[in-house]
Chains A and B, each alone.
Chain A
Amino acid sequence: MKNLFRLLYRYHVVFLFLVLEALSLSMVVTYNNYQRAAFFDSSNFISGTLFETFSSLWQIFDFKQVNVKMAEENAVLRAALQERYLKSNPGNYHASDSIYLPRIAKDSSLKAVYRFTTARVVNNSINQQHNFITLNKGWHDGVKANMGVIANGQVVGLVFKVSENFSTVISLLNIQWKISAKIKRNDYFGSLSWNGRDYRRVQLNEIPYHVPVQNGDTVVTTGYSSSFPEGMVIGTISDFSIGTGSNFYKIEVMLAADFKKLVIVGLVENKQMNEIKQLESLNNNGN
């Protein structure tokens, strides 16, 4: 004990320095937002980088297929763009891209509400009850929480946490997540969730049994959640039955997106999300 005190006294300057320095550095990390984010993200960054390196190795084998899929998606988008243009400007069609694109942008009724970007999947799981996907883009690239995630125009999930260079996505295959969805043919909507059993099938609930339902009906997003535009494909109805003692169908939906082969995904940003959320929060406060 005596020796300890002697040691403490002899090096009291060094100890004092270390204590005060630790104190001030802990203040730095605790109270300054930027440093806090940087400090806690670095662990995220390390694991993210590891994932990214490994996944890019595996994905070399998938690229050919991905290219084909993306080309298909491009074709679909082009068609949709043209269709939309023709609808808004009947009899005013110009074949040249450079002429009609700016016009669409200027037209206020067609002001782009949704913005699309792409990201690469660096980690993905389908074998748990709470599946998450990691993407190689973070707030540095403009990714925000609650952005929708799609693959080939089909719903995949919702951005959950965002760090500087990476983001995690709640997969549709997560038993805690629900999304509102509707049957494309007749516009009846219900809530879509996963029961955690089959990674290719999710369940559509709350469709009342007077609604005509057929196997093969397409299930799409409603646009109510404001993370996705209306009408993005989720899957097709593969099976349905009337639950005992219930007024609602039990509908099995075959997912359109193949969650086992996600490589490149699209991110959907609703530019009016904040406005919508603010307005809706007024409803709750009013009560």
Chain B
Amino acid sequence: MVINLLKYSLIFVVSVLLQVLIFNNILILRMIAPFFYILFILLLPFDTPRALLLFLSFLLGLLIDVFTNTPGVHASASLMIGFLRPGVLRLISPREMLDSVLAPRVENMGLNWFAGYATFMVVIHHFFLFFIEAFTFNDFLITLIRIVLSSVLSIVLIVLSQFLIFRK
């Protein structure tokens, strides 16, 4: 239990630091930006209470907002995937599978499953994030292109991170 707490605190801190220090500085073609930090929400154990999940998502988003100076934008987007995560999980995997393992990790669930899971969550998150940021449905196509390209980058980074830093 204590080990788990420490482990997820570490993931939380590392996700935020990586996002704030490295990925926030990446902006390709003035429109593609990766949002890596939601990895933390992705990795939480299956049996995390939903209320706790919401609180942690909100806290995570708010922290990112503090660093990017956009109060509420990341908070509302990551809250959204915190809320939708149980639904997404139920959608993409059978119940027995979720009961048999502890956390949604590559080594537990396989690369294909994890990539699909990450894609769902990242696309939902980015969709919300970019539309709240743009705050308009004008230039719908441009926002959509930004969402798709940024999502691809985020998904690649999140999946890669599973093999590079969060191996354990």
Q: Does B50 contact A (CB under 8 A)?
A: yes
The digit string for B49-91, where 1 denotes a CB below 8 A from any CB of A, is 0110011001001100100001111011001101100000000
Q: Does B103 contact A (CB under 8 A)?
A: no
Partner of B51, one of A16, A27, A31, A34: A16
Given contacts A31-B71, A31-B72, A34-B135, contact A24 B79 (CB under 8 A): yes
* B72 and A25 contact, CB distance less than 8 A: yes
A28 nearest CB neighbor, chain B only: B72
12 additional contacts, CB 8 Å, given A20-B54, A25-B76, A28-B76?
A: A13-B50, A16-B55, A17-B54, A20-B79, A23-B75, A24-B61, A27-B65, A28-B72, A28-B73, A28-B135, A30-B71, A39-B135
B57 CB to nearest chain A CB (Å)? 8
Range class of the A interface residue count: 20 to 34
Tell me the dominant secondary structure on chain B's binding face: helix
Measured in the bound complex, the distance between the Cα atoms of B77 and A27 in whole Å is 13
Range class of the B interface residue count: 20 to 34
Residue ranges of A at the interface with B (Cβ–Cβ < 8 Å):
12-13, 16-17, 20-21, 23-32, 34-35, 38-39
Measured in the bound complex, the distance between the Cα atoms of B55 and A26 in whole Å is 17
Measured in the bound complex, the distance between the Cα atoms of B73 and A106 in whole Å is 48
Measured in the bound complex, the distance between the Cα atoms of B55 and A266 in whole Å is 55
* A13 and B79 contact, CB distance less than 8 A: no
Measured in the bound complex, the distance between the Cα atoms of B83 and A16 in whole Å is 10
**Chain A residues positioned under 8 Å from B82 (CB to CB):** 17
Given contacts A13-B51, A32-B70, contact A24 B135 (CB under 8 A): no
**Chain B residues positioned under 8 Å from A23 (CB to CB):** 72, 75
* B54 and A24 contact, CB distance less than 8 A: no
Partner of A28, one of B50, B51, B71, B80: B71
Q: Does B136 contact A (CB under 8 A)?
A: yes
Measured in the bound complex, the distance between the Cα atoms of B62 and A244 in whole Å is 69
* B51 and A24 contact, CB distance less than 8 A: no
Given contacts A26-B72, A32-B71, contact A21 B79 (CB under 8 A): yes
Measured in the bound complex, the distance between the Cα atoms of B136 and A39 in whole Å is 9
A5 CB to nearest chain B CB (Å)? 16
Measured in the bound complex, the distance between the Cα atoms of B55 and A31 in whole Å is 21
**Chain A residues positioned under 8 Å from B79 (CB to CB):** 17, 20-21, 24
Q: Does B132 contact A (CB under 8 A)?
A: yes
- Can you list 25 A-B pairs, Cβ within 8 angstroms, ordered by A? A13-B54, A16-B51, A16-B55, A17-B83, A20-B54, A20-B55, A21-B76, A21-B79, A23-B75, A24-B61, A24-B62, A24-B73, A24-B76, A24-B79, A25-B76, A28-B70, A28-B71, A28-B72, A28-B73, A28-B135, A30-B72, A32-B70, A32-B71, A34-B135, A39-B135
B60 CB to nearest chain A CB (Å)? 12
Measured in the bound complex, the distance between the Cα atoms of B132 and A238 in whole Å is 58
**Chain A residues positioned under 8 Å from B135 (CB to CB):** 28, 34-35, 38-39
Given contacts A13-B51, A35-B135, A39-B135, contact A20 B58 (CB under 8 A): yes
B50 CB to nearest chain A CB (Å)? 4
* A27 and B71 contact, CB distance less than 8 A: yes
